[in-house]
Amino acid sequence: MKRVASGILPIIAVDRTISKALNRQIYDAYRAAIVDGRLRPGQRIPSTRVLASEIGVSRFPVLNAYAQLLAEGYLESRVGAGTVVSSSLPDQLTSSQPTGAPHVAARSGPRPVARRSPVLSRAEAMPWLLSWGAFRVGQVAFDQFPLHLWSGLIARRCRGMDAQSAHYGNLRGSQALRETIASYLKIARSVRCEAEQVMIVNGSQQALEIATRVLLNSGSQVWVEEPGYRLARDVFALNGCHPVPVSVDVEGLDVAAGIRKCRKARAAFVTPSHQFPLGVTMSASRRLQLVEWAQTSGSWIIEDDYDSEYRYESLPIASLQGLDAHSRVIYVGTFSKVLFPSLRLGYLVIPSDLVDRFHMIRRVMDLGPPTFYQDVLADFIEEGHFARHIRRMRVLYGKLRSALVDRLSRDLGSMVEVVGDEAGMHLTVMLQNGRPDVEVAERAARQNLSIWPLSPSYLGETRQGFILGFGGTTMTEIPSAVRKLRNLLATKSALLSDGTWS
């Protein structure tokens, strides 16, 4: 049985102007709430005194209605728990869907929705996003997170809450957190910024949404990496912009190809430190070309620096933003990889002259980020735990990545080519035989293997492969997970005579 909140008053409107007796009105309202599932079995209902006072009647009709509901078995009395909705109600009596869920009447007339929603893909169509198996992309090694310490900081902040901290926070995020982020970015990522330019957001996904609303119009063309990060493309499409795929090679986004294709694009979305999904690092010359293009064509660059803290064979690469003397780069970062994704905290670094614009849009969107975890996070960073955690995780992820690369080459050999393993928490394997990656990923999800197919990352001509996350996969899981992948790829029955896969 689902856990249900207790003592919450259902909407019971009594109307004294109608002839129906008050006790009957209360009885009918409760019965309806139980039958259509708004009140669930086991849920406690308010005492007669509380209900009478809430709906402004004497206790008598309430007592009367409760007695009737008890007698008919809708309610039961439990010692020490008061009156609850009967736990023995037959399933057919209570709807499994709460009211408000889509009980669409057959003839309810046209139900128009905005034209833009069909441009988006449904998560249900991508079972690899829903499965909780090895190689889940974006999963961190949460068992290594200093939870005890984190809980201590939460408790301390909670005890210190007052009327001011419970009120609306700063629209662009807490001053303390913005200052710590600004100094971290200056040192660790060579970002040129002051705290005034930092805006705390609900993950980098929100950063993209805000930046799009501020900088782009419906119909604007935006360079996106090909292959690239699908959720970024979706933000642009949702806002009526046209993503223009620009190929990625060993040096990152091919700027010359972008210029040939669409010189006048209004913006470029790039992941230069660790291209998603191929994992290449954008070369210095490409970075300079990109910045130069943005300056001459009056375009913007959105730099998504989502996992650059973890580099294994060299020092972290400086940000693109730090190279740009013309303030054309909007820098986006996230705590989803360095801490954990459910925190939903990320940040934007905004060119100084655009700060007000970003604030105006943000105000309308959500009045700013929730304040509590910002304060906890600011403490976590200031007290040195953040830097220590990154150092520890870099070592751990480095070992996981080496173990995975070794296993892949030992067990899959020439079936795949491993790319993009120098940084981050995922790598990509390119399939050498044109096997349909989506079909394999769907089957893998059913076998508790959470691999992302590569082909949906392309807008145009696709290549087949898989994105494998190793952050949340343990050393002991890797061998069996790679074996499982090999078995999936080796299912020869699906190979057709022309070399393609059924």
Ligand X SMILES: Cc1ncc(COP(=O)(O)O)c(C=O)c1O
Nearer to ligand X, 42 or 227 (CB): 227
Residue 144 neighbours by CB under 8 Å, 6+ apart: 392, 393, 396
Q: How far is the CB of 231 from ligand X (least distance, A)?
A: 7
In 3D space, the residue among 32, 33, 22, 36 whose CA is nearest the CA of residue 65 turns out to be 22
Q: How far is the CB of 456 from ligand X (least distance, A)?
A: 13
Nearer to ligand X, 302 or 431 (CB): 302
Q: How far is the CB of 238 from ligand X (least distance, A)?
A: 15
Residue 271 CA to residue 208 CA, distance in Å, equals 13
Strand-pair category, 267-270 with 221-226 = parallel
Q: How far is the CB of 280 from ligand X (least distance, A)?
A: 13
Residue 341 CA to residue 472 CA, distance in Å, equals 12
Q: How far is the CB of 73 from ligand X (least distance, A)?
A: 48
**Which parts of 184-312 are beta strand (E)?**
198-201, 221-226, 242-249, 252-253, 267-270, 300-304
Q: How far is the CB of 396 from ligand X (least distance, A)?
A: 18
Nearer to ligand X, 10 or 127 (CB): 127
Nearer to ligand X, 65 or 332 (CB): 332
Nearer to ligand X, 137 or 481 (CB): 137
In 3D space, the residue among 438, 489, 496 whose CA is nearest the CA of residue 463 turns out to be 438
For the chain, percent helix, then strand, then coil, each to nearest 5?
45, 15, 40
Q: How far is the CB of 336 from ligand X (least distance, A)?
A: 3
Place of tokens 């499994």: 96
In 3D space, the residue among 460, 469, 389, 398 whose CA is nearest the CA of residue 427 turns out to be 469
Asked if 350 and 178 count as a contact pair (C-beta separation under 8 A), the reply is no
Nearer to ligand X, 170 or 205 (CB): 205
Nearer to ligand X, 204 or 374 (CB): 204
Q: How far is the CB of 304 from ligand X (least distance, A)?
A: 5
Cis peptide before 112 (omega within 30 of 0): no
Q: How far is the CB of 192 from ligand X (least distance, A)?
A: 21
Q: H-helix or E-strand containing 419?
A: strand 416-419
Residues in contact with ligand X by CB under 6 A are 138, 203-205, 229, 271, 276, 304, 306, 334, 336, 341, 346
Taking CB positions, which residue lies at the least distance from ligand X? 203
Asked if 30 and 10 count as a contact pair (C-beta separation under 8 A), the reply is yes
Nearer to ligand X, 138 or 472 (CB): 138
Q: How far is the CB of 234 from ligand X (least distance, A)?
A: 12
Residue 305 CA to residue 427 CA, distance in Å, equals 16
Nearer to ligand X, 140 or 431 (CB): 140
Local structure of 405: helix, strand or coil: helix
Q: How far is the CB of 250 from ligand X (least distance, A)?
A: 19
Nearer to ligand X, 203 or 245 (CB): 203
Asked if 436 and 476 count as a contact pair (C-beta separation under 8 A), the reply is no
Asked if 331 and 352 count as a contact pair (C-beta separation under 8 A), the reply is no
Strand-pair category, 221-226 with 242-249 = parallel
Strand-pair category, 426-431 with 416-419 = antiparallel
CA angle 400, 405, 411 (to 5 degrees): 120
Nearer to ligand X, 341 or 479 (CB): 341
Buried b vs exposed e over 170-187: b needs ≥16 C-beta within 10 Å?
A: bbbbbebbbbbbbebbee
Q: How far is the CB of 443 from ligand X (least distance, A)?
A: 23
Nearer to ligand X, 83 or 205 (CB): 205
Q: What are phi and psi of 246, to 5 degrees?
A: -125, 130
